[in-house]
Structure 1
């Protein structure tokens, strides 16, 4: 049963890691329709396609045809696999999806800053830019994504803000994955802009076997909304995460 929409709150449905492939046609329309029934905005946290092909993007856009609410997305690493992420972006933009990449938008009075992010590890385990040129390039990519996030957050003038990522900015929400692959699931460098520009919530995907919720060092809630994780940990609920913000920004956010 759909949850009635609220006149006092803006409700977001967030999910990542949908991994649409050529055989996904006809399998996601009901899922997206339910999300649209229960939320005011749909947030997509990357890995929207499996191999990042134009054909997969067309299937995704067709499945999103059931959605009448605003859709905001970032790409994930799978959307880059074929070397043509612009094809995925183009298909989504033509369908009216706001695709963020170091950019921001405002919907229902809430500012949303988005970036894919990158890997590199967390805290003392973060990879440093030292040694071979390839290592320095890897670390520079993580720094570039963090700078893009900071630039997007700096553009927002709304009182309420959300950060939309694919890679995680904290270790807590990748906990559950093999510890050996933690460095490839996100980067603490993505947390640094969130300490300078406070947001109400952060959403990401990528870590299918991670943990639903964690917090930044300054207490911002971070949600891992990878669809496989939601399906496994909340089997009696549809695999999207609902998050509410009051329209007047006067109360504490709530989540379900």
Structure 2
């Protein structure tokens, strides 16, 4: 059994108090921490210091995997890596971890959208092709991680990976929140666990896509950090999730 603590969209300092209060309720010691992007507001790099220090002081020596969100601006990735080196930042990259006799490949990405936002279309028109091509790139990374011995694959994306858990958000903005193409990758590649954020108003915390559990761990949506109990069962993971409510 692997205990995972996951969250996203802290937008420090905006939801920093909520993050701290939620974290203080957690009584277990997780094996792995996953941060699914938008940890700060408007690329306020220094506002991540509070989150960083809280996590590394409370959970010393526990691996912390983080991806960038749209609020961690492109071009500043190395600055985040330099200032917060304990976090393992993944930017369209993967890492293989061996934990509790499990060899896990973790793919980390900002993710893709079916449509670039209007701002992105004006200022970064190249994102249109990037978003179209990213699912294939993710697919190739999964194959590579498996070729290097990863028995299980986790996908961590900031943006959503399906429309099936976007309820709560206005339907007309769904293409700006997620990539429906990612859903096909999840099915075809038999990913074992998917974690994402970005969907602040999503009312569905967990859905199932062809046996794969997909979690929206956005802090504004869940109102607390998410705890996932990941149990391998003869090549198929059983997943259970608790939103720790205290005491």
TM-score norm. by structure 2 comes to 0.79
2:157 to 152, 165, 174: 165
Is structure 2 residue 118 aligned with structure 1 residue 119?
A: no
Tell me by how many angstroms 1:80 deviates: 1.5
How many residues in Structure 1 have an aligned counterpart in Structure 2? 228
- Measured against aligned partners, the alpha-carbon deviations of 1:137-175 in whole angstroms (never above 9, x if no partner) come to 342121243233223322223222211111111001111
Instruction: Evaluate the alpha carbon distance shift between residue 17 and residue 179 of structure 1 in structure 2; reply closer, same or farther with a 3 A threshold.
Output: same
Of 171-180 and 142-151, deviating more is 142-151
2:135 to 130, 141, 146: 146
Which gives a bigger RCO, structure 1 or 2 (Cα 8 Å, sep 6+)? 2
**Structure with higher strand content:** 2
Determine the C-alpha separation between the residues in 2 that align with 1:91 and 1:120. Answer: 32
Determine the C-alpha separation between the residues in 1 that align with 2:14 and 2:220. Answer: 19
SS in 1 for 2:143: helix
Show the counterpart of 1:226: 218
Unaligned 5+ runs, structure 2: 242-247
SS in 2 for 1:173: coil
Contact 1:52 1:78 in 2 (8 A): yes
Is structure 2 residue 168 aligned with structure 1 residue 156?
A: no
Tell me by how many angstroms 1:204 deviates: 0.4
Determine the C-alpha separation between the residues in 2 that align with 1:42 and 1:134. Answer: 33
Unaligned 5+ runs, structure 1: 1-8, 232-238
Tell me by how many angstroms 1:97 deviates: 1.3
- Measured against aligned partners, the alpha-carbon deviations of 1:164-201 in whole angstroms (never above 9, x if no partner) come to 11111100111110111111101112223323321111
Determine the C-alpha separation between the residues in 1 that align with 2:160 and 2:18. Answer: 28
TM-score norm. by structure 1 comes to 0.76
Show the counterpart of 1:177: 169
Instruction: Evaluate the alpha carbon distance shift between residue 33 and residue 199 of structure 1 in structure 2; reply closer, same or farther with a 3 A threshold.
Output: farther
Tell me by how many angstroms 1:34 deviates: 5.4
Instruction: Evaluate the alpha carbon distance shift between residue 228 and residue 28 of structure 1 in structure 2; reply closer, same or farther with a 3 A threshold.
Output: closer
